[in-house]
Amino acid sequence: MLTQLWVGTYHGSHDGTRVVVTTTRDDEQPLLYGLECTCGLSQRYAAPVSLDRAAWRHTHPTFWDRWRQKLTALRHAFRLHPEQEPTR
């Protein structure tokens, strides 16, 4: 059964790697529009405009996007040791 009615591709790079994002529309999903990157990222959106923006942004990260990623990585590196994290 054909449920994917619409497909787009975005070529770009992030983290120094060339990647391709594939976007699809799937009427059987609660969020119709999905994107999948060759890096393994997979997200879904309700509106095509959000999807387009996310796909473009993911394949063409800005200077500030790269900085934010670096800061996030640093925060992970300086995280408390696992035994000091709260337990449930």
What residues make contact with Zn ion under the rule CB under 5 A?
19, 37, 39, 41
Angstrom distances, CA of residue 83 to CA of 60, 72, 77:
38, 21, 15
Beta carbon nearer to Zn ion, 32 or 37: 37
Measured CA to CA in angstroms, residue 35 lies from 70, 73, 75 at distances of 23, 24, 27
Query: Nearest distance from residue 40's CB to Zn ion, in Å?
Result: 7
* Residue 41: CB minimum distance to Zn ion, A: 5
Laid out side by side, the sheet with 33-37 consists of 4-14, 17-26, 33-37, 42-45
Residue 60 or 79: the one with the smaller Cβ distance to Zn ion is 60
Q: Give 32 or 59: the residue with its C-beta nearer to Zn ion.
A: 59
| Minimum distance, C-beta of residue 58 to Zn ion, in the bound complex (Å) | 5
